[in-house]
Amino acid sequence: MIGIVGAGAFGTALAVALANGGREVRMWARDPAQVRAMQTARQNARALPGVMLPENLAVEAELAAVLGGRALLLAVPTQALGGLLDRWPQIGARQPLVACCKGVDLASLLGPVEMILARRPGAEAAILTGPSFAFDIARGLPTALTLAATGDASALQELLSTPTLRLYRTDDVRGAELGGALKNVIAIAAGVVIGAGLGDSARAALMTRGYAEMVRLAEVLGARAETLAGLSGFGDLVLTCTSSQSRNFRFGVALGRREAFDPAVTVEGVATARAVVRLAAERGVDMPVTAMVDALASGRITLESAEAHLMNRPLKQE
């Protein structure tokens, strides 16, 4: 059995793909009304309307029902992960924990695996990340992801791979965590550029310079540059900066157009930008694109001054 905590878009998509791949899956949602609706309609109408839940995917109202399997996937937004682990001490005692989220925690400046290990020392912890929209995964479209764990991830890799979900493993947990977290910030910047009508060339420039600062910070924090060049960094950066399926990209487009954006939608890059600005300052790393996204998203600067600031930085070697 594979347990999943969190029945949002990503948790449900993984649950559907794993169940369609022949695994027994149990997914827990905190809202009993949502559980009943999913049990009755065999759909997650809130997160993935139109996707049928296979028979071997059970939707559970009790957390205990999803514990004790071969792995427990934690599919909640990064800013909710700490609270989840604090609220439910029984999570983690009996199975490997796989973080299925992308971000840096604002309260602790830690990544998802670091947050798990800070609260559950000695737990077997991993992160599943990489270019993959929930709807694509749920529809059974081919998807490749990175599974990063400090120990040997071969058994988990086998368990979580299906004919449509192909997992590559790495021991560079820091690199995988940071690739997924930092690309969301750059995707917001790419959205701003498109929303403001600055053009595809400007987007390509921002993606490239954004990638440079992602690698700069990741290396200082002990990650390997080659991990950032893989699925969890470069791969996800390309996907998220170029598709309007991405919520981070769409949030950026709204910012660029000076339009409002639904605050109920999960946009990981906003809190992560704020956290990364602090992390970068602590480590003395220059991250101009991230700083600009944070300042824009929090309304501290205008679009015009953000553009002028980035274009008027001292000329330098690439």
Binding residue ranges: 10, 30, 102, 130, 132, 134, 183, 236, 246-248, 265, 268
| CB of 59 vs ligand NAI, minimal distance in Å | 12
| CB of 113 vs ligand NAI, minimal distance in Å | 13
Residue list, annotated binding site for sn-glycerol 3-phosphate: 102, 130, 132, 183, 236, 246-248
Exposed/middle/buried for residue 34 (C-beta within 10 Å: 0-12, 13-18, 19+): middle
Nearer to ligand NAI, 256 or 269 (CB): 269
Query: DSSP states of 271-308 as a string?
Result: HHHHHHHHHHHHHT---HHHHHHHHHHTTSS-HHHHHH
Burial 216-237 (b: 16+ CB within 10 A, else e): bbbbebebbeebbebbbbbbbb
Considering only 12, 95, 132, 161, the residue that binds ligand 13P (CB under 6 A) is 132
Binding-site string for ligand 13P from residue 236 to residue 275, where x marks contact by CB under 6 A and - marks none: x--xx-----xxx-------------------x-------
For 35, phi then psi, to 5°, come to -60, -50
182 binds ligand 13P (CB under 6 A): no
| CB of 277 vs ligand 13P, minimal distance in Å | 19
| CB of 8 vs ligand 13P, minimal distance in Å | 10
**H or E stretch covering 4:** strand 2-5
Binding-site string for ligand 13P from residue 206 to residue 225, where x marks contact by CB under 6 A and - marks none: --------------------
How far apart are alpha carbons 61 and 219 in whole angstroms? 42
Q: Which of the choices ligand NAI, ligand 13P, none does residue 82 contact, using the CB cut-off of 5 to 8 A by kind?
A: none
Report the candidate in 148, 135, 138 with the shortest Cα–Cα distance to residue 178: 148
How far apart are alpha carbons 75 and 67 in whole angstroms? 14
How far apart are alpha carbons 191 and 194 in whole angstroms? 5
Residue list, annotated binding site for NADPH: 10, 30, 102, 134, 247, 265, 268
**H or E stretch covering 3:** strand 2-5
How far apart are alpha carbons 186 and 202 in whole angstroms? 13
| CB of 9 vs ligand 13P, minimal distance in Å | 8
Residues 94-123 close enough to bind ligand 13P by CB under 6 A: 102
Active site residue 316: no
Q: Which of the choices ligand 13P, ligand NAI, none does residue 100 contact, using the CB cut-off of 5 to 8 A by kind?
A: ligand NAI
Output the CA angle 151-82-110, nearest 5 degrees: 60
12 binds ligand 13P (CB under 6 A): no
Catalytic residues: 183
